[in-house]
Amino acid sequence: MNTSPAVTVIMPAYNCEKYIKEAIDSVIAQTFQSWELLVIDDCSKDHTLEIALETAGGDSRIKVIRQEKNGGVSKARNTGIDYAAGEWIALLDSDDYWTSDKLEKQYQCAMDYNADIVYCSYGFVSEDGNEYGEFIVPKQTNFEDTLSKSVISCSTCFIRAKLFKENHFSSEFYHEDLFLWLKMLKQGAVARGVTDILAYYRQVNGSRSNDKLHSALERWKIFRVAFKLPFFYSCKAFIKYAFGGVFKYFLRKDS
């Protein structure tokens, strides 16, 4: 009898004592119950580890793993990938959280469309938990579309474990997640989106996602260095990305 979970949820955690309980609770609350949760503590200096262990309680589906030394989020996620027993892997950052039907709807989408990657729409949340905007994803994407518009993100992705086992996160690029999605898509992975808002992405002051100029330059590096795309082709994709970024981060309607 196969007792392996259908989905492994990987949660890298570092100094996130304010938010990790909400993140873990959102996994426990899932209507889709065939999961395991791997919390990878990256040598936190606050009470993250203690809170994670306390929140896990006696739930055998939750395993808290402490890294031997701090290695950054990519290495923490890769540790989770190596330990994952599920056929699917879902990532959830420790300051974000899901709606209770997130895994159920993404699993169903994967079955309906024979998809390798499933992503979803998400809302924006301030540091103090106030919802103030949303990002609605298209129903499908591919390599070319992802060059100019990122719709797959860590806390919304639901991906065949086989793809993750063969393609770990690389610390070579600043946008290690974008590089990995593009690599998978270039290999022929089928990506589908659930347009329902199933996750909430917390914007924390001082996080690297707020450094838009550096982020843009690093995206250009992925185009030209990682995938060696032609200059004018890269320019076209970059211009589309820039306009889309303005809309996504600065012109979205507040709630």
Q: What is the pLDDT of residues 6-15, one digit of tens each?
A: 999 999 999 9
pLDDT at 253: 44
Domains of the chain by range and CATH? 7-207 (3.90.550.10)
pLDDT digits (tens, 9 = 90+) for 137-153: 999 999 999 999 999 99
pLDDT at 206: 57
pLDDT digits (tens, 9 = 90+) for 57-109: 989 999 999 999 999 999 999 999 999 999 999 999 999 999 999 999 999 99
pLDDT at 251: 43
CA distance 221 to 231: 11
pLDDT at 216: 86
Quick one: tokens of 50? 């203690």
pTM, to two decimals? 0.91
In the chain, at which residue ranges do the beta strands (DSSP E only) sit?
A: 7-13, 35-41, 62-66, 88-91, 97-98, 117-125, 131-135, 140-141, 158-160, 191-202
CA distance 3 to 213: 47
